[in-house]
Amino acid sequence: MRPSTHFKHCPRCGEPAAERETNAPLVCEPCGFTFFFNPCVAAAAIALHEDGKALFIKRAKDPAKGKLAIPGGFIDIGESAEEALRREFKEEVNVELDDIHYLSAHPNDYTFRDVTYPVLDFFFTARITDAVNVSALDDVDAFLWLDPREVNPDDLAFPSIRNALKTFLAGKPF
């Protein structure tokens, strides 16, 4: 169920919400309040070590528990995508990133507690220069160093990651 289906009343005045298309804005006739249902935003990176292998994680929680992903997460209010990326890498795998470059963006759906959130995932490439302190931390079951060319797309947690890896491999000079 998308977030828009959960709004049965106006968040400003409490009046019952009019029927609408699932993703249409909530427009309250009595008070004029309009609420747009925009996607959440997230940032993740294909982060390479000097040996050419990329840092992947095994997800510790649903959605997609046990599947492969790349470190990343939701962008907080007031945070740039790059700031979120650096924070998420520190929180999830205790890694500092260098040489961050935009790769692509892909839509995704993320189901949490029976609500499916539309997400726009921003993907980057980055370098990891010091990998000695890599650890499986927040929401991470394990970390793996893998050759991106050898990762089975079916093992990846989300379609957006599969699309980003495809984009990366298409432009990567091996």
Nearest-angstrom CA–CA distance, 85 and 46: 11
Q: Which residues are paired to 48 by β-bridges?
A: 54, 127
Which pTM value belongs to this model? 0.89
H runs (alpha helix) in the chain: 81-93, 159-171
Q: What are phi and psi of 28, to 5 degrees?
A: -90, 115
105-119 tens-digit pLDDT: 999 999 988 888 999
Residue range 40-171 in CATH 3.90.79.10: yes
pLDDT at 139 over 70: yes
Please tell me the predicted confidence (pLDDT) of residue 173.
47
pLDDT at 172 over 60: no
Nearest-angstrom CA–CA distance, 58 and 110: 17
Say if CB 125 and CB 45 are below 8 A apart: yes
Nearest-angstrom CA–CA distance, 98 and 100: 6
What's the pLDDT band for 2 if we cut at 50, 70, 90? low
The residues spanned by each domain of the chain are 1-38, 40-171
Q: Which of 173, 37, 26 is nearest to 117 (CA)?
A: 37
Say if CB 39 and CB 118 are below 8 A apart: yes
Q: Which of 3, 37, 53, 27 is nearest to 174 (CA)?
A: 53
10-38 tens-digit pLDDT: 999 999 988 777 777 888 999 999 988 89
Please tell me the predicted confidence (pLDDT) of residue 1.
54
Q: Which residues are paired to 101 by β-bridges?
A: 125
Nearest-angstrom CA–CA distance, 68 and 142: 9
Cis ω for the linkage preceding 63 (within 30 of 0):
yes
26-69 tens-digit pLDDT: 889 999 999 888 999 999 999 999 899 999 999 999 999 999 99
What's the pLDDT band for 129 if we cut at 50, 70, 90? confident
pLDDT at 3 over 70: no
Nearest-angstrom CA–CA distance, 28 and 20: 11
